[in-house]
Amino acid sequence: MAELNVKIVAADRQIWQGPALMVVVKTVEGEIGIMPGHEPVLALLVDGVVRVHLPGGERQIAAVHQGFFSVDSDNVAILAETAELASEIDVKRAEAALERAKAAGEPDEAAVQRAEVRLRAAAHPVPHS
């Protein structure tokens, strides 16, 4: 069965790399799913959860915040301003960040969005690799 070669990179580090059967990301146009053989794509990412479906049925989940998404010849690159795997997210810290962002005189909508994405990503079951 054909596979994708997937790489998730943040501005400060490589987050994850490996084979996948499908990748789902959120772009400014909406959510998009990519499978092997997909036509080339270049899109802007918005804050969202990336789901990488691995061979064997497991998934790798990441919270990503803005950036770019490209597909070419079964190579998928997710280049985000910031990103972290669901398994790396400190839920208590994300909840505290959400409360701080909402408690400000005028809520910091960008900070609220980042915290909510992190909490959504952390809610997904993620296998330990």
Q: How far apart are CA 87 and CA 68, in angstroms?
A: 22
Q: Which domains does the chain have, with CATH numbers?
A: 1-129 (2.60.15.10)
Its pTM stands at 0.88
* φ, ψ (nearest 5 deg) of residue 100: -60, -45
pLDDT in tens, 28-67: 999 999 999 999 999 999 999 999 999 999 999 999 999 9
Q: Above 80 in pLDDT, residue 122? A: yes
The residue written with tokens 């959510």 in the block is 31
**Predicted confidence (pLDDT) at residue 88 exceeds the cutoff of 90:** yes
